Amino acid sequence: MNAALGIAGVTIGLGAALLGVISVLAGLRQKRPRFIAAGARYSVIGLAGTVLAFAGMERALITRDFRLAYVQKVGGRATPPLFNFASLWSSLEGSILLWTLVLALYVALVVRKFRRRLDDPLMGWALIVMFTISAFFNALMLGPANPFRIAATVAADGPGPNPLLQNHVLMLFHPPILYLGLVGFSVPFAFATAALITGRLGEGWLVETRRWTLFAWGFLTIGIVLGAWWSYEVTGWGGYWSWDPVENAVFLPWLTGTAYIHSVMVQERRGMLRVWNLSLLCATFSLTILETFLTRSGVLDSVHSFSESDIGPWLLSFFGLVVAVTIALIGWRGDRLRSPGTIDSPVSREAAFLVNNLLFAAFAFVVLLGTVFPLVVEAVRGDRLSVGRPFFDRMTTPIGLALLTMMAIAPVLPWRKASGELLRARLLWPAWMGVGALVFAAAVGARGFTPLVAFGLGGFAGGAALRQVVLASRRQGWRGFVGRANGGMIVHLGVVIVAVAVAASQSYAKVAEVKLKPNESAIVHGHTITYLGMETVQESNRITQKARVRVDGDGVYAPALQSYDRGDVVATPSVRVGLKGDVYLSLDQPPATSGGAVGLKVVSEPLAMWLWVGGGIMAGGTALAAFPGRRRRPTDPVSAPLPVDRELVAVDG
């Protein structure tokens, strides 16, 4: 029954997507709005079908239906209920099902939002693009990524998901939120493609998709931060970002999406950077498909990647098709993409945003090169190369520092041109904050050129953002925190906090390994570590050995080794969180005998907690930026916005 429900749901989803494409395309060609409206209604049918498939898989996991090969792979009778539910997206086929569900939800929401303007050609072509993407992912589930395939033999039990995916509650939230971000970029991409097809290349489509883009970027940001937090509290190596290829694959669309969010303001205000904006948005969506390929094709060796399958050529072909079509469309419309304005002065906000684009593009190129180049070499020559953290740190650090500098300068620059006196006046307070941050860091013992520069530039950029928020609050009261410009400054403050925390934790982290007998203490990095003894806990699917450790006499922590029924042994750290820094404890070696010595790894992580605080501030700033602030009407000399509901053409000042 579960397999039948699932196949029926996927078939409905595929059929609805294909019929939606046919109906909307026929309506556009024959100029019959009722055909477009009928096609739009297929979005609800497609969503219902995908929900049915999702429910069928969850029912199979909950009832332990081991007739399904996927349940045999990721299900287990001893798996706790929460992780049994989350095991749906713990492997290849289920992750594609979750991806398709999120996409179907976005398509239905877009139809609901623009239900009164379905007769507009721009909306029609956007629907065709989204239905096409949905059809592709549904086709994957009827082909190489079928989650409802019946196994050749029925097993009595399964191993459960990967142990690393069933020992932290973030497994329940991190992947869905990440998918809300990655899949969410399908909406602005669809409207951008529709603008290229229809020739509506002004600012109307930008305004319509602004909030969709912001929320997609916000979800992706939260997903990346939660992923770093999950890594910090689960993997036991003492860090949160290792430049893992799959981490990089998710980071790439974040970089280009961030550049787009900044660059699009220049087009709305001055009608400039149109080619940049279309290219960045198409690159962002293309990189989400590349991320899907890298994660799910088996070409990478990573704790995050899924097992090898036949899905790789499908995803790579779709990625190539998306890139080829978007490049062709941009080239086709090249003459109409010429900007009506020019940059009047290198000392202006639009010039700063152009530099910002170049820096983000360089950052993305470095990450893409370090991630993909080893795969190309292996495919061509058969040699396996490893591009590790030293390469990424060396190449991205200067770009990151330059971006911090631009974060300080760009917000205070006016449009068109700035005088020297104006620039000095607006940068005076942020500059003093940067100097103060540098002096304070040196006074408390910070050393090293790169981290000190990061602290100084962090203070400089933070001062610029804080200055803008304070001035806006004085003028507008509580509304000084609302709107794209003001909410964006809150996001900048979060980015600065994250940057400073990364600089501190990576530059000044200290690692030590100690062996202690029961009730024996040691001084490690200025902290008193006391080993109290071992505790063994038998759970439904594992045996946990906990080392009870007191830190500085004020709390007992329990780093552990977890031995799963499937044979895996996973080290689970325990962290004492503090404003100044964390004490990270990992159990490396349990005692050989009762009362014997235990091996502990102790990591001092300065300011690590502020990574998660900064991520939360970025999320809050994104939500504030999505609400309207002061309004103005943009000038769109090339195309009119959608014809109904003129209120939607208003944007933040």
Between 302 and 404, the more confident residue is 404
DSSP 485-498: HHHHHHHHHHHHHH
C-alpha 229/C-alpha 218 separation (Å) is: 16
d(CA 227, CA 216): 16
pLDDT band with cut points at 50, 70 and 90 for residue 335:
confident
- What is the DSSP track for 162-190? -GGGSS-GGGGTHHHHHHHHHHHTHHHHH
Least confident segment among 385-389, 430-434, 629-633: 629-633
Give the pLDDT mean for 228-253: 88
Residue 636: what pLDDT?
39
Instruction: Please write the tens of the pLDDT for every residue from 73-84.
Output: 988 888 888 999
CA distances from 458 to 318, 447, 503, 561 (A): 40, 16, 10, 39
| Mean of pLDDT values over 473-482 | 73
- pLDDT above 60 for 649: no
pTM exceeds 0.85 for this model: yes
Q: What integer is the mean pLDDT of 254-269?
A: 90
Single-letter amino acid, residue 585: L
pLDDT per residue over 197-224, tens digit each? 998 887 778 888 889 999 999 999 999 9
pLDDT tens, position by position, 141-164: 998 889 999 988 888 888 888 888
Report residue 634's pLDDT band, with 50, 70 and 90 as the boundaries.
very low
**Model confidence pLDDT, tens digit, residues 361-402:** 999 999 999 888 887 777 777 666 777 888 999 999 999 999
pLDDT tens digits along 530-549: 999 988 888 877 888 899 99
Give the range among 10-14, 222-226, 483-487 with minimum mean pLDDT.
483-487
Q: Under 8 Å CB-to-CB from 252, ≥6 apart: which residues?
A: 287, 290, 291, 364, 367, 368, 371
pLDDT value of position 563: 87
pLDDT of 630 reads 54
Q: Rounded to an integer, what distance in angstroms lies between the CA atom of residue 45 and that of residue 301?
A: 38
Total residues belonging to the chain: 653
Mean of all residue pLDDT scores within the chain: 86
Q: Is the dihedral of CA 639, 641, 644, 646 positive or negative?
A: negative
Flag the least confident range among 4-18, 91-105, 224-238, 632-646.
632-646
Banded pLDDT at 306 (limits 50, 70, 90) = very low
Asked whether the predicted pLDDT for residue 307 surpasses 80, the reply is no
Distance in angstroms (rounded) separating the CA atoms of residues 516 and 559: 14
Q: How many CB atoms neighbour CB 187 within 10 A? A: 26
Query: What does the buried/exposed string (b/e) look like for 571-607 if buried means 16 or more CB atoms within 10 Å of the residue's CB?
Result: bbbbbbeeeebbbbbbbbebbeeeeebbebbbbbbbb
Greatest mean pLDDT among 30-39, 74-83, 134-143 lies in 134-143
Nearest residue to 505 (alpha-carbon basis) of 359, 586, 398, 614:
614
Q: Name 557's bridge partners.
A: 549
Question: Highest mean pLDDT: which of 252-256, 298-302, 391-395, 514-518?
Answer: 252-256
pLDDT at position 637 = 37
What is the average per-residue pLDDT within 5-11? 94
Share of the chain above pLDDT 70, in %: 92
- How do strand 560-564 and strand 574-576 relate by DSSP bridges? unpaired
At residue 524, what are phi and psi to the nearest 5 degrees? -130, 115
Using the predicted structure, report yes or no on whether residue 418 has a pLDDT greater than 90: no
pLDDT the model gives residue 632: 45
- How many Å is the Cα radius of gyration of the chain? 26
Helix-, strand-, coil-residue percentages of the chain, each rounded to 5: 65, 10, 25
**pLDDT surpassing 60 at residue 130:** yes
Q: Contact at 8 Å (CB) between 290 and 249?
A: yes
> How much is the pLDDT for 487?
86
Per-residue pLDDT for 495 more than 90? yes
pLDDT at 503 over 50: yes
Percent of the chain residues past pLDDT 90, beyond the cut: 50
Nearest to 601 by CA among 525, 534, 537, 535: 525
| Listed ranges 41-55, 442-456, 560-574; the one with the highest mean pLDDT | 41-55
